[in-house]
């Protein structure tokens, strides 16, 4: 059976949709490129043209989720003062992760599988967080509630400090009350730092 010619981008999206469905159903270790190709009625070679390994497929699926997450965050943009906004943004991000983990537990298998590999989506997520916090710090400095002469450097440190509530490895199997408390305490610590008038 010959498939009609289609745009590479559409084919790529179709492969990702099917792979995500199969990963969710059978786990990543229970799927191969060959399975995915079969489900799509494609040749494995055709899938391979777009994704050179199961890792790069999983990486691309993660990246799609990250982009969706940023879009949702932009939608909840608030007009509150910076210290409050920081809390809202971090809690929102943490809850999006928790929801994703409930709805798609295979995502956790994926992240563990990818933890050993240096992957593009991990780096993308990190940079997205750094620029998010950098903007938030700038906004706080402009409105006179935060003190900081190097928002880029500080944004990196803030993103790193929030890994404990924003990296999936720390979210799995933790009781929700404990995560909520850790989130509140870390937001408090970071806000105390950013509000220190003596900070360089």
Shortest spacing between CB 173 and a copy of itself, in angstroms? 5
- Tell the smallest beta-carbon distance from residue 142 to a copy of itself (Å): 19
Cβ at position 147, least distance to a copy of itself in Å:
9
Of 29-37, 55-63, 75-83, 179-187: span binding a copy of itself (CB under 8 A): 179-187
**Contact between 18 and 51 (Cβ < 8 Å):** no
Q: Torsion angle, CA of 110/116/117/122, rounded to 10 degrees?
A: 60
Binders of a copy of itself among residues 3 to 32 (CB under 8 A) are none
Q: Measure the CA–CA gap between 176 and 183, rounded to whole angstroms.
A: 10
Residues 55-74 that bind a copy of itself (CB under 8 A): none
| Stretch touching a copy of itself by CB under 8 A, among 3-11, 41-49, 83-91, 158-166 | 158-166
Candidate residues 99, 135, 142, 185; the one interacting with a copy of itself per rule CB under 8 A: 185
**Any contact of residue 53 with a copy of itself (CB under 8 A)?**
no
Q: x/- contact string, 73-112, with a copy of itself (CB under 8 A)?
A: -----------------------------------x---x
- How many Å apart are CA 1 and CA 3, to the nearest integer? 7
- For residues 169 and 177, what is the distance between their CA atoms, to the nearest angstrom? 17
Whether 62 contacts 106, CB under 8 Å: no
The span from the CA of 61 to the CA of 115, in Å, is: 15
| Interacting residues toward a copy of itself by CB under 8 A | 108, 112, 115-118, 153-154, 156-158, 160-165, 167, 169-170, 172-173, 182, 185-186, 188-190, 192-193, 195-199
């Amino acid at each position: 059976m010959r498939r009609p010619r289609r745009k590479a981008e559409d084919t790529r999206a179709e492969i990702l949709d099917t792979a995500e469905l199969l990963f969710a159903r059978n786990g990543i270790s229970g799927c191969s490129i060959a399975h995915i190709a079969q489900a799509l009625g494609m040749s494995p070679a055709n899938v391979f043209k777009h994704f050179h390994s199961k890792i790069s497929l999983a990486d691309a699926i993660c990246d799609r989720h990250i982009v969706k997450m940023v879009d949702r965050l932009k939608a909840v943009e608030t007009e509150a003062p910076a210290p409050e906004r920081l809390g809202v943004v971090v809690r929102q991000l943490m809850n999006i992760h928790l929801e994703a983990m409930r709805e798609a537990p295979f995502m956790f298998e994926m992240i563990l599988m990818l933890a050993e590999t240096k992957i593009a989506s991990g780096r993308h997520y990190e940079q997205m967080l750094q620029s998010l916090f950098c903007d938030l710090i700038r906004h706080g400095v402009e409105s006179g509630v935060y003190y900081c002469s190097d928002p880029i450097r500080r944004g990196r440190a803030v993103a790193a400090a929030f890994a404990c509530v924003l990296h999936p490895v720390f979210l799995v199997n933790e009781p929700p009350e404990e995560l909520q408390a850790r989130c509140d305490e870390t937001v408090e610590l970071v806000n105390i730092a950013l509000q220190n008038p003596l900070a360089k």
